Amino acid sequence: MAERTLVLVKPDGVQRGLVGEVITRLERRGLKLVGMKLMQVSDELARQHYGEHVDRPFFGGLVQFITSSPIVAMAWEANNAAEIVRSTMGQTNPANSPAGTIRGDLGIDIGRNLVHGSDSPESAEREVNLFFRPEELLSYERAMEPWIVE
C-alpha cells in the first residue's frame, strides 16, 4: 500500500474559500484522496495534534487558532505522500515559499499559512490516526493510476 499523509485546510483556508483550490492542487499533483471531513477541532484534539510544541511559546496560539473555526481534514495517498504534499504546500512561512506552491501563491503570513501537512511518514501515521478512524479511510483503484505511477 502507498503511504498516507494528513492535510488540514486550516481555519483561514476554510474562511477564505480555498478548500477546493487545495484539493485541486493535490489531485493535479497525482495524489489520491482517501478520506475527508469538515470538522470543528476540539481543544483536546488540538493539544494532541500540536503536542510536540507544548513547551514552545506559540503553543497556546496554535491551539487557539486551529479551534477558532472549522477545518477540512484530509488523508491523501501516494508513494512518498508526505514529501510530495510538503513540496506542494511550500515552506511554513509563505514569504519564503516559491510561486506555484499553495502557500507561495495564496499566503503572506506565517500565522495564516492555510494548510498543514505531516512532516514525515511517521508523523503522517500518527496524525491520520488522530483525525480519522480506520473505517473513514477508503481503499480503491483509480483508472488513471497507470498514467501517474510507473
Check 75, 116, 128, 132 and give the catalytic one.
Answer: 116
Per-residue burial over 66-102, b if 16 or more Cβ lie within 10 Å, else e, is bbeebbbbbbbbbeebbbbbbebbbbeebeebeeebb
47 within 8 A of 61, measured Cβ to Cβ: no
Active site residue 116: yes
Q: Look up residue 136 and give its three cell numbers.
A: 473513514
Query: What does the alpha-carbon distance between residue 123 and residue 15 come to, in Å, rounded to a whole number?
Result: 26
Describe the chain by its helix, strand, coil percentages, rounded to 5: 45, 20, 35
73 within 8 A of 112, measured Cβ to Cβ: no
130 within 8 A of 45, measured Cβ to Cβ: yes
> So which residues are the catalytic ones?
116
